[in-house]
Chains A and B, each alone.
Chain A
Amino acid sequence: MTNRKIGRGVAMVGAGMSRFGSFPDLDTRDLFVDAFQDMRQSVDKGLDPKDIDILYIGNYSSDLFEGQGHTAPLMADWVGLTPIPATRIEDACASSGVALRQGIIAIASGMADVVLVGGIEKMSNLPTEEVTDTLATAGDVLYEIPAGFTFPGFYAAMATAYMHRYGATPESLMQVGLKNHDNGALNPKAQFGMRIADIMAKKKARAQQKGRAIPAWSDEMDFLHDDRANLVIAWPLRLFDCSPISDGAAAVLLAADDIAHRYTDHPIHIIGAGQASDVALHDRPDPTTIGSARRAGRMAYDMAGVTPSDIKVAEVHDCFTIAEIIATEDMGFFEPGRGYVAVEEGLTRRDGPRPINTSGGLKSKGHPVGASGAGQAVEIWHQMRGEAGSRQVAGDIDIALTHNVGGTGQTAVVHVYERRN
């Protein structure tokens, strides 16, 4: 693995997103318009859309979710960007993290000065069984899916292997969900803008209203152990261990460092980028780590010239609670087998020494799969510029990281960000 550098510096000069959630009346294009408008408002000195040279759209499967192929030119049209090149990037749930990388490559190569990176997904049109089937196509349809695996199933298998090796418990996993719901409650764009305690209170109120027996949960852990309120999806993962079915879009504006000043005096430079691929889960030597993420992380750290201890805030791919624990180990924040202890000790809370997923993560913010990677960059944009409102992490957020995984790690993409003023 050669230690490469970005040939021409690249910076984020704007970032925005739609709300994430379930929106029966909105189509993908509407969500992308929302993200585009939010991005445009974030550009300090304004953006003339004519400046944009290329549009990359991360999208997993508009074909299966919506019966719509060839989505990138459609998105270009709906925000008035035709006739610029518009290309869709697909790497499952890492689609828009990879689209971000493609945008960096385009600028670094000199083929573009300004690139718009979008991420889109509309999942809620389909019933749950069909969403389950569609997500499973990110695995190997010939050799993994016939075993009966679903997407939660793959991560549940990683969880049983992890628990067996390191002694973590289903309760360790629940702590990730509790933390991310605490964060998401402070994010106005999040699908679940509620702490788990708030969700419990709402369910109790609804039961009372409908004249049903009021559930007698003593606390959050009692609620999370209730098979009816928190059903098992793929043991040991329950509903509140899984990211939801979501609709949403995100948009990130990239510019070459040498022209970034046209858009803002406070750009966020992208100083490290790594991506890797891997084989099916069963062909890997160790199901308790994601090798592609480790490799992508090393590439990004080496390129940036930083180490895990330099990272002040990180958005990692918590499609399932176990995934966040493994991610924090793969990114070098904790030793293998210590990630679950770190969560139990509160180290990854927003006010802890190692804030993870301040946005609420995919768990609480929502996981419109093709939009999630770009959505992570949006949170980093806000946190690094001190614009994250009530969920702002204290201190000087000068270096940050995003970690975005496709499938069970057949793809992983990592970026390192720097604020210089």
Chain B
Amino acid sequence: MSEHRFTHTLFQQHLDEQKLPGSRCRNCGELYLPPRPLCPNCHSGDMSAEMLGGQGRLIAFTAIHIAPTVMLEAGYSVKNPYFAGIVQLAEGPAISAQIIGVDATQPQNIKIGSQVQVAFIERSGSEHRALAFEVIR
């Protein structure tokens, strides 16, 4: 991956291969998810590829009933809501993702701070995998 540019295309290719790619600044050591070509912290362009393990913790979530087009096409609706959330990875960075493994009609059953594990899900209407995290406990 290091010979490639750290673009969204590269990120999506990795999701399709069920990998979670980040990039680390060789100058200041900061780790980024998704991978970035330039370090916003020290402005160095010297970045190296680094895969993340996919273990994390849920820090915010919502059960979405009125869905955007992309999720309507994936089969979600008022009657079939889903969770979106923010996950902080064990390595430090945080990212937005769909949250799975809990019934979204029962949002009280999901707790902030829950342990989650990365999942690379297929959605109808898309040829690419999407980033998701499954609630473990």
**A residues with CB within 8 A of B:** 128-130, 132-133, 136, 142-150, 152-153, 156-161, 164, 231-237, 279-283, 287
B112 x A132 contact (CB < 8 A): no
The reply to whether B78 and A231 contact each other, CB–CB distance below 8 Å, is yes
Residues from chain A with a CB closer than 8 A to the CB of B130 are: 146-147
* A355 CB → nearest B CB, Å: 30
Q: CB distance A164 to B131 under 8 Å?
A: no
Q: Are A161 and B112 in contact (CB under 8 A)?
A: yes
Chain B residues, Cβ within 8 Å of A164: 112-113
Minimum CB–CB distance from A150 to chain B (whole Å) comes to: 5
Q: Among B64, B97, B113, which residue has its beta carbon within 8 angstroms of that of A153? A: B64
Residues of B within 8 A of A232 (CB): 63, 65, 81
* Interface contact A281-B65, CB-CB below 8 Å: no
- Name the contact of A148 in the complex, choosing from B82, B95, B107, B113 (C-beta under 8 A): B82
**Distance (Å) between the CB of A169 and the closest chain B CB?**
12
Closest 6 CB pairs of A and B: A156-B62, A147-B96, A157-B60, A235-B63, A161-B60, A164-B112
Q: With A157-B84, A157-B85 known to touch, is A150 a contact of B64 (CB < 8 Å)?
A: yes
Given contacts A147-B97, A160-B112, contact A133 B69 (CB under 8 A): yes
B94 smallest CB distance to A (angstroms): 5
Whether, in the assembled complex, B86 has its beta carbon less than 8 Å from a beta carbon of chain A, the answer is: yes
CA distance A146 to B97 in the complex (A): 7
> In the assembly, what is the distance between CA of A280 and CA of B95, in Å?
9
Closest residue on chain A to residue B8 by CB atoms: A142
CB–CB B131/A146 < 8 A: yes
CB-based nearest A residue for B130:
A146
Q: Is the CB of A148 within 8 A of B98?
A: yes
Chain B residues at the A interface, C-beta cutoff of 8 Å: 8, 34, 40, 59-72, 76, 78, 81-82, 84-86, 93-98, 107, 112-113, 130-131
Q: A146-B70, A150-B64 are in contact. Are A281 and B98 (CB under 8 A)?
A: no
Complex contacts, B82 vs chain A, CB 8 Å: 148
A129, A153, A236, A280: the one within 8 Å of B69 (CB): A129
Q: Which residue of B lies closest to A146 (CB)?
A: B130
A240 → B minimal CB distance (Å): 14
**A291 CB to nearest chain B CB (Å):** 14
B-side contacts of A235, CB under 8 Å: 62-65, 81, 107
- Contact present for A282 and B62 (CB under 8 Å): no
Asked if A234 and B64 sit within 8 Å, CB to CB, the answer is: yes
Q: A129-B72, A232-B65 are in contact. Are A144 and B112 (CB under 8 A)?
A: no
A68 to B59, CA, bound (A): 39
Q: What CA separation (Å) do A188 and B60 show in the bound complex? A: 38
Asked whether, in the complex, the Cβ of A147 is within 8 Å of the Cβ of B66, the reply is: no
Min distance, Cβ A142 to any Cβ of chain B, angstroms: 5
* Other-chain contact of A280, B59, B71, B96, B97 (Cβ < 8 Å): B96
- Judging by beta carbons under 8 Å apart, are B65 and A149 in contact? no
Chain B residue contacts of A280, Cβ below 8 A:
96
A160 touching B62 by the CB < 8 A rule?
yes
| Chain B residue at smallest Cβ distance from A140 | B96
Q: Are B71 and A148 in contact (CB under 8 A)?
A: yes
Q: Which of A143, A145, A158, A233 contacts B68 (CB 8 A)?
A: A145
Which residues on B sit within 8 Å (CB–CB) of A282?
Answer: 86, 94-96
Q: A231-B78, A283-B94 are in contact. Are A160 and B72 (CB under 8 A)?
A: no
Bound form: Cα–Cα A158–B40 in Å: 24
Contacts A161-B59, A231-B78; A287 near B66 (Cβ below 8 A): no
Cross-chain contact A158 with B60 (CB below 8 angstroms): yes
Measured between beta carbons, the chain B residues less than 8 angstroms from A145 are 68, 70
B93 contact set on A, CB distance < 8 A: 283
Question: Known: A157-B61, A283-B94, A287-B59. Is A149-B69 also a contact (CB below 8 A)?
Answer: no
User: A237 — which chain B residues lie within 8 A by C-beta?
Assistant: 62
Do the beta carbons of A132 and B68 come within 8 Å of each other?
Answer: yes
In the complex the two chains form, is A148's CB within 8 Å of B66's CB?
A: no
Residue of B nearest to A165 (CB): B112
Determine whether the beta carbon of B95 is less than 8 Å from that of A136: no
B86 touches A157 (CB 8 A): yes
Tell me the smallest distance from the CB of A159 to a CB of chain B, in Å.
8
| B132: nearest chain-A partner, CB-CB | A147
Q: How far is the CA of A51 from the CA of B82 in the complex (A)?
A: 55
Distance of A195 from chain B, by nearest CB (Å): 25
